[in-house]
Chain A
Amino acid sequence: MIRQIIGAMLLVAASVMATPALAAMSAINPAFSQNLEGRPKKVVLLPPQVFVFELSAGGVPTRMADWEAAARDNLTAAATRLAQHSRLFELVPAPPLTPADLDQLDAHIGLYDRVAQSVFVYGRGEQGAWAHKKHEFDYTVGPGLAFLREQTGADAALIVLGADFISSSERKAAFVVGLLVGVAVPLGQSFITAGLVDLKTGHVQWMSFDSSASLDTRRPADVDDLMRALYQAYPGPR
């Protein structure tokens, strides 16, 4: 029985996940969209944290160091270039940090991680009992990142987090054979989120989420498409 339930859940998950990029998934702080003049001019990009795995034939993920480095470089380049091209803001790299500042940053990224999942599931106000979050949006990481403002002159921080599960060729072969015999063999999937946090208050201004079965964060063109989709929901004129 449990096996059937797990199977059914995986099929539901697979069908949900098999959709292409879901750029429509976003959340915007109403105070931010009501004051477009106050949008940040200069934003510091915190080093993107994207875990990249290879999915083996059996579905076991293996972290791939080289792939993660490529994904990080692609995300940094695409986020910077597209922000400039769309005249969203000037994106500057994070400064070198002391061990104490790094600890502080780690703790806040740890909090942002929880904030991002909470915003995704509840804060977007998609469920009836959570509808109020759309206009009572007060997600924040607090003022603890203000030291980045002092060091860079930036008004806000752009945080990019996520995971990318890339199917091995054996996994892809298993998927094809699985289709023919009616066995669900889920393929790789990516979950990426980008968001803007005010460096003075810590308030989350905007967040976008993307999930895709076809994205490969190792490919610069894919990551360009991803960042374009994520920036799409950024409020205000281009």
Chain B
Amino acid sequence: MKHMLTASLNLALAAPAHAQEVPPWAGIDEMRALAPAEKSLWQEADEFDRALARAGKVNTDPVLAAYLQGIMDRLYPEFKGRLRVRLLNAQHINAFALPNGSIYVNAGLVARFENEAQLATVLAHEGAHFTHRHSLQQAERVRNAAAFALVVGLLGVPLVGDIVALSSMFGYSRKHEREADEIGYQRLIAAGYAPRETIRTFEHLQAEIKAADIKEPFFFASHPKLQERIDSFSELVKDADSGEVGRERFVGTTAGLRLASLKADLAAYRYRQIILILSNPEHRREYPPEALYYLGEAYRLRGEKGDDEAAEREFNSVIGTAPQFAPAHRALGLLHFKRGDLARAAPLLRHYLELAPGAADRAYVEYYLTLMETQKPTDNGLRTPPQ
């Protein structure tokens, strides 16, 4: 009897409430009257939108916002006004779609690309998650997964949670990811973008994952293996016509974003990513000369054999080509200071303060200069406590 009851409990807990497939949206008019389940998902997504904005995570640059939205509207013209792209001030390579048509793309991801077609590949993919209502189907999957977790004896039933967080946790199914790849690819072609760039998009991301030793982030969680996608896209583009790459427009519009991205990566010690980008000559030529300062700092932080010299080389190169760029003087001065070469360190640090009198780290630099003045040039200033 108990076995029968247990079996019926398992059945009751695991039975999916609505297991049927959901048809994709044909256009905006259909969305006026949502069924309760979808309405709730949209409301939660609306609140997630507000939470991201309140927390100051959404980039407010109007030029970048218009640029991203323009690409999305070109890809999905019939969803104009509903598919809204926002740039997040976040460095991890990630993009995601919410059930209400909000598409978020991290600044760090945009900065990894070389041209508009590569960026459009990601936007087209995320747009397809919305038009094909994957979140709604995913919500069911999450419920079913949780029911299963209970049946198999994991008593950690989530009493509190939200679907957005859970969706991220569980990820889209491989089936949905494949569908988003296919729909996205069709949209990319229809919008006139170069299909070959889809391969490059995934190659960049693969290189990034390898370089940074990243545990598959959301964008890749449960996605088909990147190599598998590169192979299938390679097959697709064999017979495809050429299209627009949009390199100059991308490089011009994202120049500030890409430089800010290097700065943010450095501040969070993501030095491997900086080295990956700037040690590639093709990428490097899209950046101004002072960008090599970030490469030098990345070598310093990596600290492998020969990195100290590589850092010195990059700092010297920036001082040669952009002598007014203060941070390079500071970085080279501190590098000499660490080596105990006070005779070289002091003038560089003094010059840094002349170039950047309002520097945020002025107190540190002045402290080191004071230390140096009270030491013999051969002493290593770092081990001496101040008086």
Q: Which residues of A contact B (CB under 8 A)?
A: 3, 6-7, 10, 56-66, 68, 103, 106, 163, 165, 170, 173-174, 177-178, 180-181, 183-186, 189
A65 to B44, CA, bound (A): 8
A62 to B144, CA, bound (A): 13
Closest A residue by C-beta to B9: A177
Provide the main secondary structure of the chain B interface. helix
* Centre residue among B9, B142, B151 by max chain A CB count within 10 A: B9
B64 is an interface residue with CB less than 8 A from chain A: no
**CB contact list, B257-293 vs A, under 8 A:** none
Q: Is the CB of B146 within 8 A of A106?
A: no
Q: Is the CB of B160 within 8 A of A61?
A: yes
Rounded to whole Å, the gap between the CB of A168 and the closest CB of chain B is: 8
B-side contacts of A59, CB under 8 Å: 146-147, 150, 157-159
B-side contacts of A170, CB under 8 Å: 12-13, 15, 17
Rounded to whole Å, the gap between the CB of A32 and the closest CB of chain B is: 31
- The listed residue (B6, B13, B144, B155) touching A10 by CB distance below 8 A is B155
B360 is an interface residue with CB less than 8 A from chain A: no
A103 to B44, CA, bound (A): 19
| The 8 A-B residue pairs with the shortest CB-CB distance in the complex, in nearest-first order | A58-B147, A59-B157, A58-B146, A65-B43, A60-B146, A177-B9, A7-B155, A57-B13
Rounded to whole Å, the gap between the CB of B149 and the closest CB of chain A is: 7
What are 9 A-B pairs at a CB distance below 8 A?
A3-B155, A10-B157, A58-B13, A58-B143, A58-B148, A61-B158, A165-B159, A180-B2, A183-B9
Rounded to whole Å, the gap between the CB of A212 and the closest CB of chain B is: 14
Known: A58-B157, A63-B162. A173 touches B40 (CB 8 A): no
Rounded to whole Å, the gap between the CB of A104 and the closest CB of chain B is: 12
**CB contact list, B99-124 vs A, under 8 A:** none
- The listed residue (B2, B43, B147, B159) touching A56 by CB distance below 8 A is B147
B190 is an interface residue with CB less than 8 A from chain A: no
Q: Is the CB of A57 within 8 A of B163?
A: no
- The listed residue (B9, B54, B151, B166) touching A60 by CB distance below 8 A is B166
- The listed residue (A3, A174, A189) touching B13 by CB distance below 8 A is A174
Known: A65-B40, A173-B12. A106 touches B54 (CB 8 A): yes
